[in-house]
Amino acid sequence: MDSYSNDNTARRYRAHVSTWGTTQLHLRNPYVMAWWSAAFPGFGHLLLSKYIRGFMLFAWEVIVNMNAHVNTAMIYSFQGEIQQAKEVLDTRWLLIYIPVYLFAIWDTYRTTVDMNKVYILADMEDHRINTFSMGAFEVNYLDKRSPFMAALWSFLMPGLGQLYIHRIFTAFFIVVWGVTFFYFSQALEAISLLFLGETSKATSVIKPDWLLMLPSLYGFAIFDAYINTVENNKLYKKEQRRYLLKTYQSPSFIIKKGTKMS
Amino acid sequence: MKRVQLFSTFENHSYLEIAISNLEKQGIPREKIYAVPLDKRAETKKLFDTLHSSDGISLIDIGLPLATAFSVITASIGFELAWGPIYWGLIGAGAGFVLGVIIRLIIFWQTEKGQKRVRRKQADLILIVECEASISEKVEKILWEHFAMGLAKVESGT
């Protein structure tokens, strides 16, 4: 049940409000988007609201990276142990890692440039959009929320910031992978040990290749929650201005000159 | 009968629409409510996006990518250091974030140099409501209660 049904009269729409979340085009920096795809293939596409290929690339990265031991090799390389890095890499998997990794970065960059152009056209067309959607399972509507709170919740647990701003798919995705990474990295056990002051025991309990997944997931969860709150707020403002101009500018209204009452 | 026009400024917020709905419920017709959304000064870029205003220029757009990158590197090296990967990962994340924020601040000061910045919260629109003098008190109360930023009543003859 929507407040407005798209009648397909627009050539392009700026945004789509559904019970699953608010999807919108907005200006993005292609380099920043490409960077997120470099941090973790899939993140760039998720930020562009291209969820299916984002999920695919992400799952692909986890499977191939883990089997080729790319993360382990990265750890050795950062430590300067180049010989060990060479030995740990599994050549049965390694070579297919490279093209897909580069594709994710390249495709994010070019898609961002393209979608920025589409946004400029959609923004100038300024067609009416649906702003309220209610269904049996969810309610979604445009409104203003705090970018700081969105970032804070995703900082406390990745995915909560996305729930706060009604990005159901991304929230589900981040929570599932977050739990997976926490479990397999044994990071939470290590943190408990750190609280007890047993630092060396904490280090030994960690599974390094899984631990290396967590910084990217945290960074992405905070970034995604923050920028999307900002963009949702901008969309809200634009839509309200549009509504006010259309509804409350009667030609018969006359501004009268008088005296200000104290 | 004396008529009054109430000039007020608002932010774009759902309270504004609640206020207008209330006014219409009081019997003020749509034609007697006039809204003028304001365009903003172009140079009022702000670093902190808040609930009330955001322009997409933010402190974190460089900070978080750097935090992620630094954290991966320092956590890796941390396996060989006394404090271990978690402490070093957090140190790397913090350092990367701070560095990113500093870079963003430098860019901000460079581009904004010499420009006067408007720091205060600004109004998003002007709302003018015309009504009979007898209910102007009530209208004024509704506007204030729904967070009008400023308000003036102007009395005219007819």
Q: What is the 3-state secondary structure (H, E, C) of A178-202?
A: HHHHHHHHCHHHHHHHHHCCCHHHH
Which pair of structure tokens corresponds to residue B105?
């601040």
Each residue of B125-151: pLDDT tens digit?
Answer: 999 999 999 999 999 999 999 999 999
Whether B76 and chain A come into contact, CB under 8 Å, resolves to yes
Contact A227 B58 (CB under 8 A): yes
Closest partner residue to B156 among A222, A250, A257, by Cβ? A257
A260 domain-assigned: no
pTM score of the predicted model? 0.85
Asked if residues A64 and A100 have their Cβ atoms less than 8 Å apart, the reply is: yes
pLDDT at B59 (0 to 100) = 67
Least-confidence region, from A144-153, A248-257, B72-81, B108-117: B108-117
pLDDT band at B57 (very low <50, low <70, confident <90, very high): low
Measured between beta carbons, the chain A residues lying within 8 angstroms of B64 are 219, 222-223
C-alpha dihedral sign at A141, A145, A151, A157: negative
Closest partner residue to A219 among B3, B67, B127, by Cβ? B67
The 8-class DSSP code of residue B133 comes to: G
Whole-angstrom distance, CA of residue A60 vs CA of residue A96: 10
Q: Which residues contact A10 (CB under 8 A, 6 or more apart)?
A: A122, A125, A127, A128
Asked if residues B79 and B89 have their Cβ atoms less than 8 Å apart, the reply is: no
Contact B125 A244 (CB under 8 A): yes
Does position B51 have pLDDT exceeding 70, yes or no? no
Give the total residue count for chain A.
Answer: 262
A244 domain-assigned: no
Closest partner residue to A255 among B5, B56, B76, by Cβ? B5
Q: In angstroms, what separates the C-alpha of B113 from chain A's closest C-alpha? A: 23
Whole-angstrom distance, CA of residue A11 vs CA of residue B90: 47
Q: Which residues contact B41 (CB under 8 A, 6 or more apart)?
A: B118
- For chains A and B, CB pairs below 8 A equal 175
In the block, tokens 């907005």 appear at A26
Closest partner residue to A261 among B49, B71, B155, by Cβ? B155
Range of the domain at A226: 15-239
A9 domain-assigned: no
A5 domain-assigned: no
Measured between beta carbons, the chain A residues lying within 8 angstroms of B75 are 211-212, 215
Q: Which residues contact A81 (CB under 8 A, 6 or more apart)?
A: none
Mean confidence (pLDDT) of chain B? 83
Domains in chain A, number? 1
pLDDT at B49 (0 to 100) = 57
Query: B interface mutation test: which of A203, A218, A235 has the most B CBs within 10 A?
Result: A203
Cα→Cα distances A214→A61, A159, A205, A209, B140, Å:
14, 13, 16, 10, 54
In the block, tokens 């919108």 appear at A24
Whole-angstrom distance, CA of residue A160 vs CA of residue A153: 5
A194 domain-assigned: yes
Measured between beta carbons, the chain B residues lying within 8 angstroms of A248 are 20, 30, 33-35, 127
Whole-angstrom distance, CA of residue A255 vs CA of residue B129: 10
Contact A39 B35 (CB under 8 A): no
A225 domain-assigned: yes
Determine the average pLDDT of the residues in B11-23. 94
More confident residue, A180 or B158: A180
In the block, tokens 């609280």 appear at A195
CATH code of the domain occupying B3-38+123-156 = 3.30.70.260
Block means of pLDDT (10 residues each) for chain A, length 262 residues?
Answer: 77 92 92 91 95 95 93 89 88 87 93 93 92 93 92 94 95 96 94 90 92 93 94 94 94 89 80
